[in-house]
Amino acid sequence: MEKNIKNKNQLTELRQDLVTGDWVVIATGRAKRPEDFAVNKRVIIEEDSDKPCFFCYPEETGQEKDLLIYETSGGDWSLRVFPNKYPAFSKEEIVNHNEEGPYFSMDGTGYHELFVTRDHKRQIAQMDVLEVAEIMDAYQNRYIDLMNKKSVNYIEIFHNHGKEAGGSISHPHSQLVAIPVISPYIQSELDGAENYYRTNKKCAYCTMIEWESEHKKRVVFDSDDFIAYCPFSSRAAFEVWIVPKKHKPYFERMSDKEKLVLAEAMQKVMDKIYKALGDPAYNFYIHTSPCDGKDYPHYHWHIEILPRTSTWAGFELSTGVEISTIQPEIAAEYLRNI
């Protein structure tokens, strides 16, 4: 492995995202061995031993009524969804628009929900496939329930693990935010996918999938329905995308079979990241077509997983160009062999 890294440790590369056109730096001059990324342990979120966990005992800590609950054969719950006690958006059906001179704003309406799994410590990497499939089913269930609300045009489902990734409670949980606007990041992907199709008469994501499937050097997991790979223009070390192989613009239209295979891909990828990096902080999120009533035939939904292996500094903040200190080809090879 050491010889392999030295041979590839040439000039720093600027790589461009095929869809958005964004640039990233693969800083080969600062290249680390894959095992070096497991050295820095994540910051542990402190817990108050005198107070019950918000999520282990939701009734005792004043959580609102469940929006969705899954139960075991023994009568205990395995997953539950309830509104966030401290929502970033307020539930209103009408969105008021406001103007102040040259400025424009609208009411911060929307929905903010939490997906909580039963075990206080076990994360996806430590679950079995059926447990992960239950999480995917809950994501889809709540998405479908909210997608036709008048104040909702986009739904983001995401998961923060660890303090460095924005986690404030150690108990594993995901979040859903349904909002009236489409984020600039998603809009950039939508525009890029449409522009690529107009130029090349094929989907940009399908093109990447075909290339990665054929050459395999960045592939981490592969099945008939899903592929997981480290993107060519990875923004962070050990970034992984999980993408359906068939052209599918809408996450919410997944079949039960696809959810099970997606769960297998998620569990295996997260287990590899957990072992390779020593339980790192990470974020993952689902990018899918908006639910604003328009058609997005050129988009391709996917999950992006970003381990928190570095911190943005002056260059990244001032340019928006992220720096990764390992080539995605080397990261993928290391994860494959875990």
Q: For this structure, is 173 an active site residue?
A: yes
CA-nearest of 119, 108, 107, 54 to 82 is 54
pLDDT at res. 1:
42
- Alpha-helical segments (H) within 61-217: 129-146, 184-200, 204-215
Burial (CB count <10 Å: 0-12, 13-18, 19+), residue 195 = middle
Burial (CB count <10 Å: 0-12, 13-18, 19+), residue 188 = middle
| Type of residue numbered 170 | S
- Which residues fall within 8 angstroms of residue 58, CB to CB, at 6 or more apart? 80, 82, 116
Which residue in the list 112, 159, 161, 173 is annotated as catalytic?
173
Q: Hey, is 298 helix, strand or coil?
A: coil
Q: Hey, is 334 helix, strand or coil?
A: helix
Instruction: List per-residue pLDDT tens for the chain, 338 residues long.
Output: 444 444 444 678 999 999 999 999 998 777 678 877 875 666 777 666 667 788 998 877 777 789 999 999 888 999 999 999 888 888 877 788 899 999 999 888 999 999 999 999 999 999 999 999 999 999 999 999 999 999 999 999 999 999 899 888 899 999 999 999 999 999 999 999 999 999 999 999 999 999 999 999 999 999 999 999 999 999 999 999 999 999 999 999 999 999 999 999 999 999 999 999 999 999 999 999 999 999 999 999 999 999 998 887 898 889 888 899 899 999 999 999 99
Dihedral (CA of 242, 243, 244, 245) sign: negative
pLDDT at res. 54:
83
d(CA 112, CA 123): 21
pTM of the model: 0.91
User: Domains of the chain by range and CATH?
Assistant: 2-44+184-336 (3.30.428.10), 68-179 (3.30.428.10)
pLDDT at res. 80:
96
Q: Which residues pair with 302 in a beta bridge?
A: 287
